[in-house]
Amino acid sequence: MGVDLIFRVAAIGIIVAVLHMVLKHSGREDQAMLTTLAGVIVVLMMMITEINNLFETVKNVFGLY
């Protein structure tokens, strides 16, 4: 985990925010909401791998199997 993960999450957030505003101003509120939901899911999928790495590290440090 490093700074690159923070930059990737921030980039996805900026892109999703811009898409949300564009879609909302064009009258497509449903698609704007789905775009926001998709952005949240993508970020959560990125974080799941990092959380898995954290748990593996904790198991290795404490010698748990």
pLDDT of residue 32: 95
Q: Return the domain boundaries, the chain.
A: 3-59
pLDDT of 29 strictly over 90: yes
pLDDT digits (tens, 9 = 90+) for 7-27: 999 999 999 999 999 999 999
Nearest in space to 15 (alpha carbons), one of 47, 38, 49: 38
Q: How many helices (H) and strands (E) does the chain have?
A: 2, 0
- Can you read off the two tokens belonging to residue 26? 């064009």
| pTM for the predicted model, two decimal places | 0.78
pLDDT of residue 1: 62
